[in-house]
A = this chain, B = another copy of it.
Amino acid sequence: MTRTITLSIAAVLLAGCAALPVTSALAQADPPVAEAPSPNAIVDAAPAADWVEIAPSDLMVMQLAPDAQGKPRRVVIQLMPPPFSQGWIGNMRKLAAAHWWDGTSVNRVQDNYVVQWGDATEKKPLPEGLAVVPESEYMTPIAGLPERVSGEIGDQAEARTEMTYYARQGSEAFPRVHDAYSDYSLFTMGWPVASNDDAKSVWPIHCYGMVGVGRDLSPNTGTGAELYTVIGHAPRHLDRNIALVGRVIDGMEYLSSLPRGHGQLGFYTEDESPTPIVSVRLANELLVNQRPRFAYLSTDSAAFAQYAEARANRRDPFFIVPAGGADICNIPVPVKAYPWVKPAE
């Protein structure tokens, strides 16, 4: 099947708030009246049916020690759904149930790379029964995906992705493909993944905020006890080399703004202070009224497609040259918190 999707500029005339105004005063002025919405306005206008509430059992809640002013620092991680990375995620469920992370710490903060947490002593015994996950699990066979999804990927392997069409500015013979690390990248089941033209497997992508599993040298794949999140430009060279298990959907700033470490690879030195982790729990282990609630915009929805296109072709009044493309990590999946207010810019 070969698709011919023509991007109608008229159909997606967009406008919204300025991206880099000179001053806070301007930033807080009313947005200009516009005929078509900005990417954020598209998200705000998405119908309730386009949002997917995340199950409490897929939310991992990490309480860091309060900051210097005594303010709480809560980080919420959304775990990837089956069939992605379930060996490690199963281990993480056991570690959380055992309260294993309580009393561990954030030990590494490397600028423009990762924040990493776990047991700095290397001596804390792990719970019994953790799986040893093989490297083959870094990739997910398309056959293991729901039929709807695998069919979509099969189509896209032939036709390239929707985003490729959005990004296409050149000739049919040489379109502007947007991914340097795979034949194509796309969103599926709410997550950024990549694949190759053989369409045999997909793998998750190391975008900002994604959470992965620290490991030793191959063939070690890590247990899930040592975790990191991306705090800089997407380190895509880690794709297919380390397990990705989720993403930070709330409280990212409490990790990304931590003081950088000055030991090798950004580990803290003896003179520097790891940030204590008070507790890590799955939300379904918390009292009902203490559970965070989040929803993400379905990446199968029309609203998401419109949002992604608008991210790739900004036509807000601030912009004078739409990019004509976007890489997948510059299209973060929108998430909102209960009560269902609009997500922050």
- Residues of A near any B CB (own CB < 8 A): 17-28, 32, 68, 107-112, 114, 116, 118-120, 122, 135, 138, 167, 170, 173, 176-181, 183, 197, 207-209, 212, 214-218, 222, 226, 228, 232-242, 252-253, 256-260, 263-268, 311-312, 314, 317-327, 329-330, 332, 345
Task: Name 30 A/B residue pairs within 8 A (Cβ), A-sorted.
Answer: A18-B217, A21-B216, A22-B118, A22-B226, A23-B107, A23-B119, A24-B264, A24-B268, A26-B216, A27-B264, A28-B264, A109-B257, A167-B180, A177-B177, A180-B325, A180-B327, A181-B323, A181-B324, A181-B326, A181-B327, A218-B318, A232-B232, A237-B319, A237-B323, A240-B321, A241-B320, A253-B260, A256-B256, A256-B260, A327-B327
Complex: A149 Cα to B13 Cα, angstroms: 38
Complex: A257 Cα to B106 Cα, angstroms: 15
Using A256-B112, A318-B241 as known contacts, say yes or no to A330 and B235 having CB atoms under 8 A apart. Answer: yes
Asked if B320 contacts A181 (CB within 8 A), the reply is no
> Nearest Cβ in chain B — how far from A166, in angstroms?
10
Complex: A28 Cα to B235 Cα, angstroms: 22
Complex: A264 Cα to B258 Cα, angstroms: 22
Complex: A110 Cα to B217 Cα, angstroms: 35
> Nearest Cβ in chain B — how far from A212, in angstroms?
7
Asked if A267 contacts B24 (CB within 8 A), the reply is yes
Describe A's contact surface by its main secondary structure: loop
Complex: A230 Cα to B234 Cα, angstroms: 13
Asked if A265 contacts B314 (CB within 8 A), the reply is no
Q: Please name the residue on chain B nearest to A319 by beta carbon.
A: B241
Using A214-B22, A228-B20, A345-B265 as known contacts, say yes or no to A180 and B176 having CB atoms under 8 A apart. Answer: yes
Q: Which of B208, B236, B345 contacts A330 (CB 8 A)?
A: B236
Q: Which of B24, B112, B173, B317 contacts A209 (CB 8 A)?
A: B112
Asked if B214 contacts A111 (CB within 8 A), the reply is no
Asked if A116 contacts B214 (CB within 8 A), the reply is no
Complex: A18 Cα to B241 Cα, angstroms: 12
Among A24, A197, A239, A267, chain B packs the most CB atoms within 10 A around the CB of A24
Among A209, A314, A319, chain B packs the most CB atoms within 10 A around the CB of A319
Using A216-B22, A217-B318, A238-B20 as known contacts, say yes or no to A178 and B176 having CB atoms under 8 A apart. Answer: no
Q: Please name the residue on chain B nearest to A122 by beta carbon.
A: B23
Asked if A120 contacts B24 (CB within 8 A), the reply is yes
Q: Which residues of the partner chain B approach A197 to less than 8 Å between Cβ atoms?
A: 170
